[in-house]
Amino acid sequence: MQAYMKSAMPYHGVPTPLLRPLCKDFFNEHPFSSATEWQDGCLALWRQAKFREERYAAINLTGHRLYRPWQTMSTLPTYEEMIVSGAWWDYVDEIATHRLSGLLKAYPAKMRTKMLQWSRTRDLWKRRSAILCQLPYKQETDLELLYACIEPSLDSKEFFLQKAIGWALRQYAWTNAGEIRTYCATHELSKLSRREALKNIGLS
């Protein structure tokens, strides 16, 4: 697992299908009493982790059902820290598609501003997060926001940005293939982004 993920942090070797129910049971048995306590607990687990599964557990804790009412804009700095310090796709993609996506739906105006800012930052993982944060949205996707978050990275040579662009476009193509064909025909995309975007629909 460590070799596959190219991880400097070691693994215990606990696979995800086993880790998630373990986390769920433990978190149910030891609830937090306030939003501040919960956020502090998430960050403590993240910062003190010695094994990668411990950071996966921290991400699971951020999404635990007991704390859904506490998913507010005040949690964004926690996710930002995890994204920047984690700096790898397994952490970043989970947070972007399952945490930022929820905040964007709940606080569209504020999150829209934040994601536009993130899409232009030097940090590639914040850029990737901004591109991927609408991945589960399907027909509810804000195309204007998606394209605006993609645009600053169109000429990037970074693999993880090119891949994210293609993935986000391909995901929306399931909802509107014609829209994505048109976008790919009228914009200069990297070969990787274009191939990923059109993988399931082609240009015809």
pLDDT at residue 139 in the model: 96
3-state helix, strand, coil in the chain (%, to 5): 70, 0, 30
pLDDT in tens, 9-56: 999 999 999 999 999 999 999 999 999 999 999 999 999 999 999 999
The 8-class DSSP code of residue 120 comes to T
Whole-model pTM: value is 0.94
pLDDT in tens, 121-151: 999 999 999 999 999 999 999 999 999 999 9
3-state secondary structure 163-189: HHHHHHHHHHHCCCHHHHHHHHHHCCC
